[in-house]
Amino acid sequence: MEYAVRGPIVTRAGEIEAELARGVTKDFAEVIRANIGDCHATGQQPLTFLRQVLALCVSPDLMVDPHFPSDAKDRAQRILNGCGGKSLGSYSDSAGVQIIRKDVADYISKRDGQSASFEDIFLSAGASDGIKTILKLLMTGKAGNERAGIMIPIPQYPLYTATIAEYNAYPVGYYLDEDNNWGLSIAELERSLAASSSKCIPRAIVIINPGNPTGQVLSRKNIEDIIKFAKKENLFILADEVYQHNVYAKDCEFFSFKKVLTEMGPEYKDMELASFMSTSKGYMGECGMRGGYFEVIGLDPKVRELLIKSISAKLCSPVTGQALLDVVVNPPKPGEPSHDRFIQEKESVLGQLFEKAALTSETYNSIEGIKCNTVQGAMYAFPRIFLPEKAIKAAEAEGKAPDFFYCSQLLEKTGICVVPGSGFGQVPGTYHFRSTILPPVPKLKEMMSLFRDFHINFMKEFN
């Protein structure tokens, strides 16, 4: 079981930070952590209204404080009224506080233009917890070629390979098409499934949209084709949609899998689909709060009973995270005291991400030996590095993957911490790394300048 975004290079980054704190002299003054989508850790400020409501929920005695706006107090009281003893310190139902689940259902209904039921909504400790819950339901409990097979994109977010390994399932990797801006080909899905069908029992397909680590946004037509493929192959769909607020390219638009599936006609209404959302990404960036939800449709009633039983063993997700999620899906409305400030802060965060997405891909593409697709959405770039043969041989001599060798050198010489592409999967013979676009613009420009100098020197050394 491996998890690259917190792997050996990140461990080394922590050691270097400790060395710098002890006064060890290096060619740089700080470690720039571009390895993980941790927005607040890279300088993003919390949105005022989210934190005001959460503060009021945690400390209701602040309700008399005149510094808090009336709509924040009303929102907090509404959440507390749904909690046992009117306290966030009480357990919620295993699926979550009912009023929050109803607000999530309303959010989905408005987003998709079609009704959603709160009974299909389950609150979780971030999206990761919900994803693992659904994957566990899909296991066969058997070994060898009777293991559950889970189709995952390559490159993929390491949560999936790590969980598949933990659950003793079989990863059925399908390659995204880098030359087509990380597009998803149905022919490739069919090839991947055929190649693995003798090694497992295919149960599900995972789609990450917008993509992590690749930053692409699927078209509606592409989503329709994936749904048709899943129906034909009788696959459960897991739609990882945590970056649904993070779409930057002008010709791109987010479509939820549920919206597309339910609009495709009655022959698709019985398909099994779980979609996932989180407070950690979007414009919120509240990673440490561990708030999220998943919506499940098409489940057999007996399977639903087992799902509820399985989450009951965990009692409930953190109620603080649930409260924060409620504010995300039910933000201030026009005319309320906090609305204008909330919109200004939200648009500021998304506007900066738009600027940083363009800056990141344009800068990488300006460097010889680097190719980077447009960052259409999410929070990452996944550039390809064209490594010289001498560098590949040097990596092999040290027993390291070539892109791991490259990223290690980058960290040691500049303090920039990124994740090797081998941690996400890639076409054999190609090399990449994942870099976040999250540092503030001045810090991102500094990082890009340091990276450019490093890359030029690296290529000179190994050419």
Per residue in 115-155, pLDDT (tens digit) is: 999 999 999 998 999 999 999 999 998 989 999 999 999 99
Fill in the DSSP letter of residue 62. G
Residues 444 and 447: their CA atoms lie apart, in Å, by 5
Which helix (H) or strand (E) element contains residue 151? strand 148-154
Quick one: CATH architecture of 4-44+343-462? Alpha-Beta Complex (3.90)
The predicted-structure confidence for 336-388, as pLDDT tens digits, reads as follows 999 999 999 999 999 999 999 999 999 999 999 999 999 999 999 999 999 99
* Nearest residue to 360 (alpha-carbon basis) of 347, 374, 350, 370: 374
CATH code of 90-329, in short, is: 3.40.640.10
* Nearest residue to 255 (alpha-carbon basis) of 235, 241, 274, 269: 241
Token pair in block for residue 145: 């070629």
The predicted-structure confidence for 433-451, as pLDDT tens digits, reads as follows 999 999 889 999 999 999 9
Model confidence at 4, in pLDDT bands (50, 70, 90)?
low
The predicted-structure confidence for 262-285, as pLDDT tens digits, reads as follows 999 999 988 999 999 999 998 998
**pLDDT above 70 covers what percent of the chain?**
99
For residue 22, count other CB atoms closer than 10 A to its CB: 7
The predicted-structure confidence for 292-314, as pLDDT tens digits, reads as follows 999 999 999 999 999 998 888 88
Residues 275 and 294: their CA atoms lie apart, in Å, by 5
316-352 burial string, b = 16+ CB within 10 Å, else e?
Answer: bbbbbbbbbbbbbbbbbeeebebbeebeebbeebbeb
Strands 148-154 and 419-420: unpaired
Q: Please state the φ and ψ torsions of residue 159, each to the nearest 5 degrees.
A: -50, -40
The residues pairing with 458 across neighbouring beta strands, listed in sequence order, are none
List C-alpha distances in Å: 311 to 11, 29, 51, 99, 278: 32, 46, 28, 19, 18
List C-alpha distances in Å: 322 to 23, 57, 332, 386, 394: 42, 11, 17, 45, 49
Residues 22 and 422: their CA atoms lie apart, in Å, by 32
Predicted TM-score (pTM) of the model is 0.91
Mean pLDDT of the chain: 93
* Nearest residue to 268 (alpha-carbon basis) of 220, 232, 304: 232
The predicted-structure confidence for 209-246, as pLDDT tens digits, reads as follows 999 999 999 999 999 999 999 999 999 999 999 999 99
Q: Where do the domains of the chain lie? A: 4-44+343-462, 90-329
The predicted-structure confidence for 167-186, as pLDDT tens digits, reads as follows 999 999 999 999 999 989 99
